[in-house]
Amino acid sequence: MIMSFLRNDEYEAKLYYKGNDYQIITPGSYVICAVTGKRIALDDLRYWNFRRQEAYANCQVSYERELECNPNLRKLLEHNKD
């Protein structure tokens, strides 16, 4: 019998995102950024959207995704530039 001994860092975690926290559904050490497709170590995970259940690699990616999903917010921000 061949046994595979994979470490936790070789698994993608499955999370349920909440407003200011998340629940681990499937253990692992990283999640995938919904926009860039890059791995995000759970220790580095700071940005997500609980309504869309998406993780983001950083603040800029999160901001751009919010503008993409919320055209009214983009219009409001553009209007306030003037």
pLDDT (tens digit per residue) in 2-49:
545 555 558 999 999 999 999 999 999 999 999 999 999 999 999 999
Q: Is residue 3 part of a domain?
A: no
Q: Is residue 56 part of a domain?
A: yes
Secondary structure of residue 40 in the 3-state scheme: strand
Q: Is residue 21 part of a domain?
A: yes
Structural domain count, the chain: 1
Q: What is the pTM of this model?
A: 0.80
Range of the domain at 77: 8-81
6's tokens = 């994979």
Burial class (CB in 10 A: 0-12, 13-18, 19+), 29: middle
Q: Is residue 28 part of a domain?
A: yes
Q: Is residue 1 part of a domain?
A: no
Angle between helices 59-69 and 71-81 (to 10 degrees): 110
Alpha helices in 1-82 (DSSP H): 59-69, 71-81
Helix, strand, coil percentages (3-state) for the chain, rounded to 5, are 35, 25, 40
At residue 4, the pLDDT reads 53
